[in-house]
Amino acid sequence: MQTEIVELLNQLGTGKMSATAYDTAWVARLGDIDRDLSNRALEWICENQLPDGSWGTEKPYYYHDRVISTLAAMIALTYRGRRSHDHARIEKGLLALEKITEGATQGLQADPNGATVGFEMIVPTLVAEAENLGIIKQQGNRILGRISKLRKAKLELLRGKKINRYLTAAFSAEMAGKDNQSLLDTDYLQESNGSIGHSPSATAYYLVYINPDNLPALDYLRKSIDSCGGMPDLIPFDVFEAGWTLWNISLLDNWDSMADGYLQPILKFLKDGWQPDRGIGLSTSYSIPDGDDTSIVFEVLSHFGEPLDIKAVLSFEEAEHFRTYHYEVNSSNSVNIHALGALRQAKMGINSRPIHKILHYLRKSKVRNLYWFDKWNLSPYYTTAHAIIACAGFADSLVESSVGWLVETQNNDGSWGWQTPTAEETAYCLQALLVWQKIGREVPKTKIKKAVEWLKGHCNPPFPPLWIGKGLYTPEKVVRSSILSAILMEESR
């Protein structure tokens, strides 16, 4: 297993992520700009239609993901479908889409983590396009129609402002649609790699509706498409991939000193990307630092003997919590949990103002005093396990009931899963229970044993998409590192 971790470290790079139907559908629209790129994406869309006719992640089922993915795929097929079986897929998709829109009110409210990224701003543009193409009925006062009114209200707040690469809204630039392109500061919108916000869908929108002759944007998409024609939710995300992978490795007590040499280039890469007082973003080429990557990278570098100034982490402090980005509407539990880990690594005491603030925030956001949901990962096991790890031996009373919840909700075969058992969620829970055990707290040995046995039998990809972007996705090396970490943590005891 340790050899596999070394191999994983050698493979870290721009970031490896599963493809999403939403982003791939946008690239499929590029027929008049790059026919080969468009055809490859279109073929992926055709091959990845779900049995019920919709698009998105089959398991786990997340309503927001199905709505936005199916709308985008249907529009792409309507524009670009040429063959008889393309039209058959459109007909099947129409039936699925009608069922989705009929149940939208109940379905959207049932997703506990809330909307996917930019949902309320992007979906109305897709709905309007689908209505004009005759794909769906006029939505009017249905929930998808009401979301259009919400978009109008939010656009009014942006009036007089411009979206450029220094605002997170650039990641969802397609929200401007055809009617609000004046919101985009096109002179300062592109990143150095040619992308719009490191987003294939936003970049494809830019090419289709803003600047079809932009070669850097087209080159970015050509480099981003996978061998099967699929597009990721975002790329590159080199800092995110490296930071989370090293965070999982940092939980190991017996890391072979001979393997330290494999860590050094990655630590240097993260330290070189760090901006004093600002922190770091999901990639060194991304213009916007965020509280999550900043906290994780601070904790990792400090753990491995590369201390930094805590000011960058503290720059994300708000009146009642720590934020991910400026201007975000909803705060994140996991970002506050990771900020707590960074502050602990900086030797701040439990009575310090920032830590007291985070603990108060987490107490209020805990569901039934048992677990936490989060806007970046669908599974409460991810957020809750990370909370247990951050609080163990420091704020035990906050997470004691959560440890009990993990123990009680383990499946009989040793696995965990919010909707269905997954290796990723099982790894998170095993990591948390082993950290809890390490500080001298009681954990049933049979629970640990069953978890390890199940995980060893289910440790290989593909891994179901649990991470929330514009659709659901899997950062594959991050997930793999959590699984290897959990197994090695137990083997080293």
Q: What is the per-residue pLDDT across 350-365, written as a single tens digit (0 to 9) for each?
A: 999 999 999 999 999 9
pLDDT of residue 281: 98
Name which residue leads in pLDDT, 153 or 374. Answer: 374
What is the residue-averaged pLDDT of the chain? Answer: 93
Structure token digits, residue 10: 């050698």
Provide the pLDDT for residue 40.
Answer: 97
Going from the N-terminus, what domains does the chain have, and what CATH number goes with each? 19-232 (1.50.10.160), 236-491 (1.50.10.20)
Q: Which residue has the higher pLDDT, 294 or 135?
A: 294
pLDDT of residue 142: 63
* The pLDDT of residue 491: 87
Cβ-proximal residues to 455 (8 Å cutoff; 6+ apart), any chain: 414, 415, 423, 426, 427, 430, 483, 486, 487
Does pTM surpass 0.85? Answer: yes
Q: For the chain, how many residues are written?
A: 493
Any idea which of 56-65, 145-154, 281-290, 380-389 has the lowest mean pLDDT? 145-154
Mean pLDDT in residue range 6-17: 94
Task: Give me the helix-helix angle, 238-249 and 260-273, nearest 10°.
Answer: 140
In this prediction, residue 145 carries a pLDDT of 67
Q: How far is CA 250 from CA 255, 257, 263, 300, 486, in A?
A: 8, 13, 11, 7, 11
Q: Reply yes or no on whether the pLDDT at 379 is more than 80.
A: yes
pLDDT (0 to 100) of residue 261: 82
What is d(CA 281, CA 299) in angstroms, rounded to the nearest whole number?
15
Q: Which residues contact 389 (CB under 8 A, 6 or more apart)?
A: 251, 341, 431, 432, 435
Which of 222 and 98 is assigned the larger pLDDT? 222
* Helical pair 84-102 and 63-80, crossing angle rounded to 10 deg: 150
Do residues 45 and 72 touch, judged by C-beta distance below 8 A? Answer: no
- Predicted local distance difference test score (pLDDT) of residue 138: 66
On whether the CB atoms of residues 327 and 370 are closer than 8 A, the answer is: no
Average of pLDDT values for 19-24? 98
pLDDT (average), residues 416-439: 97
Among 72-81, 249-258, 473-482, the range scoring the smallest mean pLDDT is 249-258
Contacts of 288 (CB under 8 A, 6+ apart): 165, 166, 167, 168, 281, 325
* Res 38: pLDDT: 96
Question: Which amino acid, residue 157?
Answer: L
